[in-house]
């Protein structure tokens, strides 16, 4: 039996781990190596700003897997919205520059 580490804030003690997967539209293979590198940097920036713990990250050509731990009072939906919104904005700007 393994014991897990618990984190705490002022009001809660938690160990909430989430596995999130998202895909490109129609599962198109658009996440090339260069785009995956930029996407990883963007995800790391969001994680460091929101003080979340990234446990695993894997990117394929058509989808992304993330395993992370976030404060339940902040909310999973807010973190995913931040990651997808910011990565979409930066990647679209970078692709238009080419």
Q: Write down the residue that tokens 């446990």 correspond to.
A: 55
Q: Mean pLDDT over residues 72-97, rounded?
A: 88
Give the pLDDT score at 6.
87
Give the pLDDT score at 52.
87
Q: What's the mean pLDDT when you consider all of the chain?
A: 88
Global pTM reads 0.81
Q: In 1-98, where do the E strands start and end?
A: 7-8, 13-14, 17-23, 53-59, 63-69
Give the pLDDT score at 1.
44
> Domain ranges in the chain?
14-97
- 27's torsion region: left (phi>0), alpha (psi -120 to 50) or beta? left
The sheet with strand 17-23 has its strands ordered as 17-23, 63-69, 53-59
Task: Kindly report, residue by residue over 28-60, the tens digit of the pLDDT.
Answer: 998 999 999 999 999 999 999 987 889 999 999
Looking at the domain that runs over 14-97, which CATH code has it been given? 3.30.70.1290
Give the pLDDT score at 84.
92
Sorting pLDDT into bands at 50, 70 and 90, what band is 98? low
Give the pLDDT score at 22.
92
Residue 95 has pLDDT above 80, yes or no: no
The whole-angstrom separation of Cα 81 and Cα 21 is: 13
Token pair of 81 as six digits: 């919205």
């Amino acid at each position: 039996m393994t014991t897990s580490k618990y984190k705490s804030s002022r009001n809660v003690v938690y160990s909430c781990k989430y596995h999130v997967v998202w895909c490109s539209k129609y599962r198109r293979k658009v996440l090339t190596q260069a785009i995956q590198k930029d996407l990883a940097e963007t995800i790391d920036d969001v994680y460091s700003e929101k003080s979340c713990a990234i446990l695993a990250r894997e990117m394929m050509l058509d989808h992304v897997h993330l395993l992370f731990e976030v404060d339940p009072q902040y909310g999973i939906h807010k973190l995913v919205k931040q990651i997808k919104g910011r990565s979409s904005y930066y990647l679209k700007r970078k692709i238009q520059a080419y």
